[in-house]
Amino acid sequence: MDQASGAHRPVLRRTAYAAALFVAAAGSLVLEIVGARLLAPYVGVSLYTWTSIIAVVLTGLSIGHWIGGHVAERSVATCRRALVWAFLLAALTALGSLVLLRVLSGPVLSAGLGPVASIVVLSTALFLLPVLFAGIVSPVLTRLALDEAPRSRGRVLGQMYALGALGSIGGTLAAGFLFISWIGSTGTVMSVAAGYALTAGLFALASGAPTRRGLLAGMAAAAAAVALAAGGLAVRAFESPCRTESDYYCIRVVDFTFEAGRPSALLVLDHLGHGINDRDDPARLFSSYVELTDRLFQERLGPKQDFAAYFIGGGAYTLPRAWMAAYPRASLLVAEIDPAVTRAAREDLWLDPAGTIRILHQDGRTALQDLPAEPLFDAVLGDAFHDITVPPHLVTIEFAREISRRLRPGGTYALNVVDSLRAPRFLFAVVKTLQPVFAAVEVWADADQLASGGRTTFVVAAGDRATPVGRLASPRDGTRRWLRWPGGDLAARIAASGVPVLSDDYAPVDRLLRHVMEESE
């Protein structure tokens, strides 16, 4: 019996090392995926956010592997103690990332570093150490596993590499498909920290009776954990800033009554205010570009009341809600990819989808492609852009052709574009992309924003005919005025800019908008 038990011990230890490697790899990739969601309420989600987080995670793992390689050359006892401390420190720093986010985000974002530098600083401060400590364990565990099977070194080495990769895959899938939507990004990070701490505890127990030095070190670690928890509670680090954390956004609804002077609410998706709704007056449009869009369609549709409109993106449902009230005979179809956004609009933004509105919880392009390829709409509105985070597939010439095929004669496609007035390269690319498809493409903007010379929300209108006027004014608030960009000047500037036609094969949206991140709103 004793001989059989002894024979099984190397297998059990190798299994334990393999499981620990799986946990370390999975936790690192969970932190990589959840990192963008943690930063979203502060800096949004963009190519730069993902690039920074991925780079930081790879840097941390590389440094950790290098340190772990040096540790792996030491004695077995030293390696086992190192595993306890590496997992314990990974747990503490993972939990600490939630505290650091609350403590550092304000100072970093107000330090004048610029958006990209701020994203890099926050990503490094939050995620470098947790993945570094998790990275230490990989070479150490591999060395210990090799010691248990010296005659199968190649096989063991391959198994450990494979388990590390499987852990990374499992962590990625678990974070993206399960944890974030079930327990939120904050809960996900706390779960990773708990997993690391549990693994450290199991290795500590397996090491036998602790020495006095080990007991003192353990007490110091426990004290650090208590202090970290107390500090986190003080800054509310373990509470999610989101009302709802969906598969797509951190969703919040903010009472806007004080600012508006009447009952109203603001929908915030990640870090961006996405729309303001008035409880009692759906036609009250607080955002200038939303009212501009409304006025443009009034001019282009004329007296028609029974028109059909397709909205690419729902958000706060501000304009669909206004048109439901103003045009009870109109047929309104909204493609909103996130059901949680629609739920928030219904529960807190006074959306009543009964009657003339139909909602599809799909991507705006795929939903359109599922419809018959024939004229269906008098109006198509593109409002799925999230600040300067633009889904490239919604601005390509192929998508423009899909829209054109479904517009009735006299119909209009309008979309909002955020860009810099000084060098609106993305705006120019959008216009250049639409021009081969539509006979008339116009750019409109708020006159006051044009005077400021900075970051501006433009409205691009395209169709088979031009808007009959070149200036518009708000019927509710005469101080709001909008101007159409003179066609000759616009054409000359587009030609000089050298921007490409955006296609499904080539749509460098982030590069075209790179300069906008450096401008204040």
pLDDT at 520: 47
Same domain for 298 and 233: no
User: CA 209, CA 205: separation in Å to the nearest integer?
Assistant: 8
Helix 318-326 × helix 288-301 angle, to 10°: 40
Residues 235, 295, single domain; the answer is: no
Q: Is 409 helix (H, G, I), strand (E, B) or coil?
A: strand
Instruction: Using CB atoms within 10 Å of the CB of residue 310, give its burial: 0 to 12 exposed, 13 to 18 middle, 19+ buried.
Output: buried
Query: What is the layout of strands, in order, in the sheet containing 272-278?
Result: 244-245, 250-255, 264-269, 272-278
Among residues 182, 210, 240, the one where a domain terminates is 240
Does the residue 170 lie in any domain? Answer: yes
> How long is the chain?
521
Q: 273-304 as b/e, with b when 16 or more CB fall inside 10 Å?
A: bbbbbbeeebebbbbbbbbbbbbbbeebbeee
Task: Give the 3-state secondary structure of residue 367.
Answer: helix
Q: Which residues contact 322 (CB under 8 A, 6 or more apart)?
A: 282, 283, 285, 294
Backbone angles phi, psi at 478, to 5 degrees: -65, -15
pLDDT in tens, the chain (521 residues): 455 445 457 778 888 899 999 999 999 999 999 998 899 888 887 778 899 999 999 999 999 999 999 999 999 989 999 999 999 999 999 999 999 999 999 899 888 787 888 899 999 999 999 999 999 999 999 999 998 888 888 888 898 999 999 999 999 999 888 888 888 899 999 999 999 999 998 888 887 656 666 667 677 777 877 887 888 788 888 888 888 888 888 899 999 999 999 999 999 998 888 899 999 999 999 999 999 999 999 999 888 888 999 999 999 999 999 999 999 999 999 999 999 999 999 999 999 877 678 999 999 999 999 998 888 899 999 987 766 678 899 999 999 999 999 999 999 999 999 888 888 999 999 999 999 999 999 999 998 888 777 788 999 999 999 999 999 998 876 678 999 999 999 999 999 999 999 999 999 988 888 777 665 44
DSSP bridge partners of 445: 483
Q: Are residues 291 and 433 both part of a single domain?
A: yes
Residue 276 inside a domain? The answer is no
**Helices 153-174, 2-43: inter-axial angle, 10-degree rounding:** 40
Select from 223, 240, 257 the last residue of a domain.
Answer: 240
Structure tokens at 25: 């790899």
Q: Write the single-letter amino acid at 312.
A: I
Apex 307 CA angle, 303 and 312, nearest 5: 125
Question: Are residues 467 and 332 part of one domain?
Answer: yes
Q: Is 469 exposed, middle or buried (0-12, 13-18, 19+ CB in 10 A)?
A: exposed
The C-alpha R_g of the chain, in whole angstroms, comes to: 28
Q: β-pairing, 407-420 with 377-382? A: parallel
Residues 361 and 427 both lie in one domain: yes
Question: How far is residue 234's CA from residue 219's CA, in Å, rounded to a whole number?
Answer: 23
Q: Count of alpha carbons within 13 Å of 194, Cβ hemisphere only? A: 6
Q: How far apart are CA 303 and CA 310, in angstroms?
A: 19
Q: Report how far apart the first and last C-alpha atoms of the chain are (Å, whole number).
A: 74
For residue 269, list its beta bridge partners.
251, 272
User: How many structural domains compose the chain?
Assistant: 2
Do 169 and 308 share a domain, yes or no? Answer: no
Q: What's the token pair of residue 220?
A: 């110091």
Residue 96: the pLDDT is 93
Among 209, 240, 271, identify where a domain stops.
240
**Whole-number pLDDT of residue 439:** 96
Is there a domain that residue 258 lies in?
no
Long-range contacts of 473-482 (CB under 8 A, 24+ apart): 474/291, 474/295, 476/284, 476/291, 480/288, 480/291, 480/446, 480/448, 481/446, 481/447, 481/448, 482/288, 482/292, 482/295, 482/444, 482/445, 482/446, 482/447
Question: Does residue 248 fall inside a structural domain?
Answer: no
In this structure, the answer to whether residues 124 and 185 fall within a common structural domain is yes
> Domain for residue 312, yes or no?
yes
| Residue 254, helix vs strand vs coil | strand
pTM (2 d.p.) = 0.85
What pLDDT does 397 receive? 97
Q: Other CB atoms closer than 10 Å to residue 370's CB: what's the count?
A: 10
Q: Looking at residue 174, which CATH number applies to its domain?
A: 1.20.1250
Residues 204 and 334 in one domain: no
Contact in structure between 108 and 72 (CB atoms under 8 Å): no
DSSP 221: H
What's the longest Cα–Cα distance across the chain? 95
> Closest Cα to residue 495, out of 435, 413, 445, 453?
435
Give domain status of residue 78, yes or no: yes
Whether residues 214 and 289 fall in one domain: no
What pLDDT score does 240 carry? 84
Q: Is 270 among the domain residues?
A: no
Q: Which residue reads 């003339």 in tokens? A: 356
Residue 472 inside a domain? The answer is yes
Same domain, 132 and 205: yes
Instruction: Write out the residue range of the structural domain in which residue 384 sits.
Output: 283-518
pLDDT at position 189: 94
The CATH number of the domain holding residue 405 is 3.40.50.150
Q: Residues 106, 188: one domain?
A: yes
